[in-house]
Amino acid sequence: MKLVILGGGASGMAAAIEAAHTNAHMDIIIAEKLDRPGKKILATGNGRCNFSNINASVDNYYGKDSNFTAWCLKRFTVNDTVNFFNQLGIFPKEEDKGKLYPFSGQASSVLDCLRNEIKRLGIHMETGFYAKEISKSKKSFKITAADKRVLYADKLIVAGGGCASPVLGSDGSCFELLRSMGHRVSELAPALVQMKTDPKEVRSLQGIKVNGVLRLIQKDRYIAEDRGEILFTDYGISGPPVFQLSARIPFRKNIIASIDLMPDNSPKEVYDILEYRRSCLSHLTMEDFFTGLLNKRVGNLIARRAGIDKLSFKAEMLDDRLLWSIASLIKDYRLEIKGTKGFGNAQVTAGGVLTADFDEKTMESKLVKGLYACGEVLDIYGDCGGYNLQWAWSSGRLAGKSAAEALM
């Protein structure tokens, strides 16, 4: 009996290991496009691999039917992930907001532990195998690679990821393979990615980091917010809150990013601070009025937005109306979001193969018996902070277990 797993990423390796743990009497082959598996894992968590999050729940996931995750996350929980990796040698370390990392601080240790277990279990790794075609006869699946190598399988798990960061392997080809077997694929968009604004709005701030609250607004309706370091770039904004909130952007239009530069103070408190500065620093021009309160270039931009054309404008000339509009801009500095930096820079893909075509209890296709899918290739993605890898481990293990049980 043979199980082939297409894709040697996080979900594919988890599927293979779980399948081998469940049923020792079958051949398991991981067919991976690149010359080695798990390349993306090495890049996760800035090289430290934020491999899960103790707070993971259905609410952290998005997709046409994000409830699809519920069964899977219950079947293979965060605790199960921690135990799974503990047994492979990964001692977990919890950091802010429930993020879990390996104590070693190295993403490579997560990959090494997975590879050691794969080797111990005798799972065969077929590398450089770029699957181009899948077909199914009555008896088995036939998987053909770009170089004409062919693999046959009694059960097939597709774990080829989405199209985010294609240099790390996942180029969207598995969407086409599953489509060719009759599955529906929803609209795709990059997520967990930098946001683009009008470059003219941010060019003068390039390289500046501010600690603030980022809010997303659509047609005056509040969507979500996150707090942390926001980085201005030549194209727009980046930084942890930007990545976090970009999960909420796909498929929405007319998004406004509002930055609160003094989140610990109310608008009235900010106004009072400005009023006090006006009385003490009345001799200064707008060029220097904000020094010590805001980054100088941010202050200059705010003064301009408030309608003060010349930086030589004296603080003593600020009337109460101008002070209020400066205070409002400090609390609510708005940038129109023009898009994102695209799949090349994105951490995950929003959209994918519709989960309605799969059984959430087994991850098996409802259309093609014996075919399973897991990980990012499905129309499920999560927040920033370890949730996407948790989905990869949970869904991979469920698919691996189901396929192995079906071969018993």
Ligand X SMILES: Cc1cc2nc3c(=O)[nH]c(=O)nc-3n(C[C@H](O)[C@H](O)[C@H](O)COP(=O)(O)OP(=O)(O)OC[C@H]3O[C@@H](n4cnc5c(N)ncnc54)[C@H](O)[C@@H]3O)c2cc1C
Where does this chain bind ligand X (CB under 6 A)? 6-12, 31-34, 40, 43-45, 49-50, 129-131, 159-161, 164-165, 168-171, 173-174, 347-348, 375-376, 386-389, 392
The alpha-carbon radius of gyration of the chain (Å, integer) is 25
Chain residue whose CB lies nearest ligand X: 9
Nearest-approach distance from CB 245 to ligand X, in angstroms: 16
Nearest-approach distance from CB 120 to ligand X, in angstroms: 21
Q: Name which of 4 and 337 has its Cβ closer to ligand X.
A: 4
Cα dist from 320 to 25, 122, 139, 239, 374, whole Å: 79, 75, 80, 34, 59
Q: Name which of 134 and 335 has its Cβ closer to ligand X.
A: 134
Q: Name which of 10 and 29 has its Cβ closer to ligand X.
A: 10
Residue whose token pair is 């991850």: 363
Q: Name which of 78 and 294 has its Cβ closer to ligand X.
A: 78
Q: How far apart are alpha carbons 83 and 90 in whole angstroms? A: 9
Nearest-approach distance from CB 4 to ligand X, in angstroms: 10
15, 397 contact by CB (below 8 A): yes
Nearest-approach distance from CB 89 to ligand X, in angstroms: 19
Nearest-approach distance from CB 114 to ligand X, in angstroms: 11
Q: How far apart are alpha carbons 280 and 319 in whole angstroms? A: 15
Nearest to 26 by CA among 190, 187, 159, 157: 157
Q: How far apart are alpha carbons 75 and 222 in whole angstroms? A: 34
Q: How far apart are alpha carbons 124 and 29 in whole angstroms? A: 5
Q: Name which of 31 and 403 has its Cβ closer to ligand X.
A: 31
Cα dist from 153 to 56, 92, 133, 142, whole Å: 34, 36, 13, 7
Q: Name which of 101 and 289 has its Cβ closer to ligand X.
A: 101
Cα dist from 385 to 288, 388, 390, whole Å: 39, 8, 10
157, 400 contact by CB (below 8 A): yes
Nearest-approach distance from CB 150 to ligand X, in angstroms: 13
Nearest-approach distance from CB 299 to ligand X, in angstroms: 34
Nearest-approach distance from CB 273 to ligand X, in angstroms: 38
Residue whose token pair is 């929803």: 186
Q: Name which of 28 and 270 has its Cβ closer to ligand X.
A: 28
Nearest-approach distance from CB 84 to ligand X, in angstroms: 15
Q: Name which of 327 and 353 has its Cβ closer to ligand X.
A: 353
Using the CB atoms, write b or e for 47-58: b if 16+ within 10 Å: ebbbbbbbebee
Cα dist from 132 to 102, 126, 143, 182, whole Å: 35, 15, 8, 16
Q: How far apart are alpha carbons 46 and 222 in whole angstroms? A: 30
Q: Which amino acid is at 279?
A: S
Q: Name which of 169 and 370 has its Cβ closer to ligand X.
A: 169
Nearest-approach distance from CB 136 to ligand X, in angstroms: 17
107, 41 contact by CB (below 8 A): yes
Residue whose token pair is 């098996």: 364
- Which residue stretches of 46-168 are H helix? 68-75, 78-88, 107-120
Q: Name which of 11 and 362 has its Cβ closer to ligand X.
A: 11
Q: Name which of 16 and 327 has its Cβ closer to ligand X.
A: 16
Nearest-approach distance from CB 137 to ligand X, in angstroms: 20
